[in-house]
Amino acid sequence: MLCHAAFGQNQLIGPPPGAPQPDTNSNRILWIIPNFRTTAELKNYQPISAAAKFKIARQDTFDRGTVALAGLFAAEAQFDNAERSFGQGVGGYAHYFAASYADFAIGNYMTEAVFPVLLHQDPRYFRRGHGSKLSRFGYSAGQIFFTHGDSGHTQINFSEIGGNSAAVALSMAYYPDHRDVSDALTSLGTQLAVDMASNVLKEFGPEIGHMFSHKHKVAEPQP
């Protein structure tokens, strides 16, 4: 109920007069996480074209931050020996990296382009940037389950759920050690949780970045 209420009604509500405008110009959160689909909350919603949806997926997929994240996820998976058939050493890491990057690429295109185009839904994250921290947290988490259709009305986010389900199904082709229903459900739950955490970072990212920047300036020695 918190997520649904926090998301709002059929039309996005803008910040109150005099409120600071959210910073949505950064293409990365914490200098690494791709942030190409975040936009300021709009008072009057305007949909985007199919080409624009594919552009978002392309930008997120081929950003250097995605490559770096794939490398980190691959290193963690190899350390845990998550896929024994991949092996160890350089060859094993290459296999882990390829699988990890494929997860990002397929997931991005399914949730940000293919399903949004087919279902006429908007893949963007609309940052609120005002209100209490609790309401903003509920709002950001809720955008995993609720989104805007191209019509402007709030809808269940079938693009997120269906897109990630399709991505998990496709991943069975290159994860030979995890191909049963339980593994698929675990992977889907993990991916939805990761995307939810990503939304929360997109909502609070500018404040976090400003906090780190401010601490860095304070730590700098005075001439």
Largest CA distance in the chain: 62
Crossing angle, helix 89-109 and helix 158-171, to 10 degrees?
150
Strand partners, 33: 29
Dump pLDDT digits (tens) for 71-113.
Answer: 999 999 999 999 999 999 999 999 999 999 999 999 999 999 9
| Confidence band of 43 (pLDDT split at 50, 70, 90) | confident
Please give the model's pTM, rounded to 2 decimal places.
Answer: 0.79
* HSE of 188, CA atoms in CB hemisphere, 13 A: 19
